[in-house]
A and B are shown apart, each in its own frame.
Chain A
Amino acid sequence: MAVSGLLFIAFTLVHMYGNLKAFSGQEKFNDYAHHLREFGEPILPYEGFLWITRVGLLVALVAHVTSAVILARRASRARTTKYQYKKNKHSALSSRTMRWGGAALLLFIIWHLVNFSFGKVNPQTGETGAAAGDPYTLMVDTFDVWWMTVIYLVAMLALGFHLHHGTWSATQTLGYTNTATSRQRAKQAGWLLAIVIAGGFSLVPLSVMFGIIE
């Protein structure tokens, strides 16, 4: 769980960095998208790197979701009679919403892939596949639809929550937080990554919506 989660973090960081290329204009962005596919050539075939990443992420996703399901089932079996009244003392909301947040993210990821990867659905023109336009156009068209932006922003909020707890939780699960200071640092890292990644991702849709990118 922690390992696959950290892999996601690494991926999302790179992914976010890529997305921010949108600010350098259509050409640079499309170049980048293209470059991703040529990365590693000639050692790797065209799209080789991309596929390795995709397979890696898929394996991680399966591992991550499987562990999540196992944990959730263990938890529900561990307490079949619920409290009539239960208060939570000091835990963060993010820590108690990992499951629902995670499920939301899963739905989101599926749509996200349909939207930008496998399906390439342009919500504005209704076109799919190559007709949907180059990556840049597809992106701008998508975020020009206000409710699309809202979906993405909500997903990023969920991601922020997930990362806020997930980052610290992963370091704890891996046994790197044996002192009060290291725990403090892991929690700070959680905040940092949540803000940077969720914030970074949100910049693009927001910018499109507000017409900074068109």
Chain B
Amino acid sequence: MKLTLKIWRQATTDATGAMHTYQLDGVSEDMSFLEMLDVLNEQLNASDEEPIAFDSDCREGICGMCGLMINGQAHGPEVTTTCQLHMRSFKDGDEITIEPWRADAFPVLKDLCVDRSALDRMIQSGGYISANTGSAPDAHAAPVEKKKADRAFDVATCIGCGACVAACPNGSASLFLGAKITHLGELPQGQPERWDRVIGMVSQHDHDGFGGCTNIGECASACPKEIPLDVISQLNKDLRTAMVKGR
């Protein structure tokens, strides 16, 4: 198939960017979206135009490195990561706009690459359980109710891609935050630091300039791992409890 691609290009963080239009022919529907961009890049390289920078690593939907705004939707039209999106979701003659994640907490580095280290900083501010190496009791010392273990797992599958932030009209990272709070809060091991964790992470979230959540729900529908909105409720609940406890 033949496509018209409108792609955001920006040389550096401080440079002003703009949309550029490219034509690409011979796209097969078995290609992944990123393989389609690989082909475009080969074509650009051949015609002496610098290839478009975009991030990806595992290309199997688990590392969270990829992430593009495709036709106005984070990760494109399907519920999956950009790298797992295939060209069969498009048709011959389509025009596709491709932009980077946009949030001031995720500055654009170049073209379609952004800096998501703000997500790491949130984890640094409490997204862990303090268990020094070698200090752990036997793994069977604390049984975990299966229902809780399952919920913890379900939300721990967040890949930290940032699509929730990109999709949110408020630019909030509450889904990401809620997923971690819920994962660790469901487990007995996560209890001792539970209230400090939520305060620490939320403060960092706000400090880094993410927006506040107004429960619109675009995040959950963009999330490739289908993290549900109830993690935000859990986050709010934990935050309220923590504040009542005077942390």
Contact = CB atoms under 8 A, between A and B. Distances in A.
The answer on direct contact between A and B (beta carbons under 8 Å) is yes
Interface string B89-103: 000000001010011
B216 A96 contact: yes
B99 A172 contact: no
A84 B97 contact: yes
Contacts of B209: 77-78
B230 A75 contact: no
A75 B72 contact: no
Interface residues of A, number: 38
B214 A84 contact: no
Interface stretch (A16-24, A86-94, A103-111, A122-130): A86-94
B238 A75 contact: no
B224 to A, nearest CB: 12
Contacts, number: 120
Contact of A79 (B104, B206, B229, B234): B104
A174 B235 CA distance: 10
B102 A79 contact: yes
A91 B216 contact: yes
B105 interface: yes
Interface in A42-65: none
B215 A81 contact: no
A49 to B, nearest CB: 30
Contact of B215 (A90, A172, A180): A172
A117 interface: no
A177 B218 contact: no
A83 B102 contact: yes
Interface size class of B (residues with CB under 8 A): 35 or more
A96 B217 CA distance: 10
A74 B212 contact: yes
B230 A78 contact: no
A85 B214 contact: no
Interface in A141-192: 165, 168-169, 171-180, 182-183
A90 B103 contact: no
Given A75-B212, A81-B102, A89 B222 contact: yes
A95 B210 contact: no
Given A89-B222, A172-B236, A83 B216 contact: no
B8 interface: yes
Interface string B205-242: 01001111111111001100000111011111111100
Given A84-B97, A172-B215, A174-B236, 11 more contacts: A71-B214, A74-B206, A75-B170, A89-B221, A90-B221, A95-B216, A96-B216, A171-B233, A172-B232, A176-B233, A180-B230
Interface of A: 70-71, 74-75, 77-92, 95-96, 98, 165, 168-169, 171-180, 182-183
A-B complex: 7 closest residue pairs judged by Cβ atoms: A175-B237, A78-B171, A87-B72, A78-B211, A90-B221, A75-B170, A175-B236
24 contacts: A71-B211, A75-B170, A77-B104, A78-B170, A79-B102, A82-B102, A83-B72, A84-B99, A85-B72, A87-B73, A88-B218, A89-B73, A89-B167, A91-B217, A95-B217, A96-B169, A96-B216, A172-B232, A172-B236, A175-B234, A176-B237, A182-B230, A182-B233, A183-B229
